[in-house]
């Protein structure tokens, strides 16, 4: 049997009288480092429901569920901690910069995943003609504010601005009929808007 080195013997003896280098978690609350990347959380005030976080998540840890019933739509964004890599791509690509942010929360042990999920719900703007999803209501209004006066160059955006200012806007209810030129003044998706222009051009010829 080889004799222990003096350095190793010294470290073994000194460790008996010295404090451990590890933290006392879970008996005492652990404070992570300043740049620690913990569980992402949605901000109810600044998230606009654009879905950018869902698009860029490399591990598909964010789920986006769009539901349209009788012309009214809801979008739910759900962050699943079990699939999250804590890479920070969702925070880095957030268009509002604070819609979703990584927190200092690191202990995400659970029996029921729903208790640790971060989710947020948004109203959707739906095409008045084909009922396809155009986008989240807050996202469109956020875009209008970013554009400022330029937003008044687009008919649908004018309607959106008037609605945001709580001004009464009379909009005819959509009837199931061939798309008309006047439909471009309603809230319609790009596909229906293009069809309306094509229909009008054909009539002129």
Kindly state the percentage of the chain with pLDDT values over 70: 79
Quote the mean pLDDT of the chain: 80
Q: What is the pLDDT, as a whole number, of residue 92?
A: 95
Taking only the tens place, the pLDDT of each residue in 55-66 is 999 999 999 999
Are 102 and 147 part of one and the same domain?
no
Q: Per the domain annotation, does 66 fall within a domain?
A: yes
**Strand 72-79 relative to strand 62-69: parallel, antiparallel, unpaired?**
antiparallel
The Cα-based distances of 55 to 19, 40, 115, 191 in angstroms read 47, 15, 24, 22
Q: Per the domain annotation, does 59 fall within a domain?
A: yes
Boundary residue ending a domain (93, 126, 159): 126
Are 49 and 122 part of one and the same domain?
yes
Q: Per the domain annotation, does 29 fall within a domain?
A: no
Of 17-21, 26-30, 42-46, 110-114, where does the model show the most confidence? 42-46
Q: pTM of the prediction?
A: 0.71
Q: What is the pLDDT, as a whole number, of residue 175?
A: 46
Are 68 and 39 part of one and the same domain?
yes
Are 38 and 120 part of one and the same domain?
yes
Answer with the residue of higher pLDDT: 17 or 172. Answer: 17
Give CA–CA dist 71/167, Å, rounded: 22
Residues in the chain: 205
Average pLDDT over residues 8-25: 78
CA pseudo-torsion sign 37, 45, 73, 162: negative
Are 52 and 120 part of one and the same domain?
yes
Q: Per the domain annotation, does 18 fall within a domain?
A: no
- CATH code of 95's domain: 3.30.70.3270
Average pLDDT over residues 128-146: 86
Are 42 and 117 part of one and the same domain?
yes
Of 26-30, 141-145, 179-183, where does the model show the most confidence? 141-145
Give CA–CA dist 95/46, Å, rounded: 10
**148 pLDDT more than 70:** yes
Q: What is the pLDDT, as a whole number, of residue 79?
A: 94
Give residue 119's domain range.
34-126
Domain count, the chain: 2
Q: Per the domain annotation, does 17 fall within a domain?
A: no
**146 pLDDT more than 60:** yes
Are 121 and 145 part of one and the same domain?
no
Q: Per the domain annotation, does 5 fall within a domain?
A: no
Report phi then psi at 180, rounded to 5: -115, 165
Q: Per the domain annotation, does 161 fall within a domain?
A: yes
Average pLDDT over residues 66-89: 91
Boundary residue ending a domain (91, 126, 161): 126
Q: Per the domain annotation, does 121 fall within a domain?
A: yes
Angle 181-182-183 from CA coordinates, rounded to 5°: 90
Task: With cut-offs at 50, 70 and 90, classify the pLDDT of residue 50.
Answer: very high
Task: With cut-offs at 50, 70 and 90, classify the pLDDT of residue 160.
Answer: low
Burial class (CB in 10 A: 0-12, 13-18, 19+), 69: exposed
**167 pLDDT more than 50:** no
Q: What is the pLDDT, as a whole number, of residue 159?
A: 62
- Start-end of H helices in 63-189: 89-92, 137-147, 155-164
**170 pLDDT more than 80:** no
Are 85 and 145 part of one and the same domain?
no
Average pLDDT over residues 127-155: 81
Q: In what order do the strands lie in the sheet with 118-126?
A: 62-69, 72-79, 118-126, 133-136
Are 49 and 105 part of one and the same domain?
yes
H-run or E-run covering 68: strand 62-69
Q: What is the pLDDT, as a whole number, of residue 127?
A: 82
Are 149 and 78 part of one and the same domain?
no
Are 117 and 59 part of one and the same domain?
yes
């Amino acid at each position: 049997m080889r004799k222990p080195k003096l350095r190793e013997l010294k470290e073994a003896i000194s460790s008996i009288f010295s404090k451990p280098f590890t933290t006392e978690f879970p008996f005492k609350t652990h404070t992570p480092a300043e740049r620690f990347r913990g569980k992402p959380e949605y901000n109810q005030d600044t998230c606009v429901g654009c879905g950018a976080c869902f698009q860029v998540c490399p591990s598909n840890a964010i789920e986006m569920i769009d539901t349209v019933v009788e012309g009214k739509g809801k979008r739910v964004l759900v962050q699943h901690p079990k699939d999250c890599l804590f890479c920070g791509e969702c925070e880095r690509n957030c268009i509002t910069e604070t819609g979703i942010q990584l927190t200092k929360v690191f202990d995400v042990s659970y029996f029921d995943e729903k208790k640790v999920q971060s989710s947020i719900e948004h109203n959707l703007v739906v095409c008045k003609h084909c009922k396809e999803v155009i986008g989240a209501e807050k996202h469109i209004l956020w875009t209008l504010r970013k554009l400022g006066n330029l937003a008044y160059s687009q008919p649908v955006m004018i309607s959106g601005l008037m609605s945001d200012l709580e001004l009464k806007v009379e909009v005819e209810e959509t009837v199931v009929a061939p798309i008309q030129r006047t439909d471009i003044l309603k809230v319609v998706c790009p596909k229906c808007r293009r069809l309306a222009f094509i229909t009008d051009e054909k009539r002129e010829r």
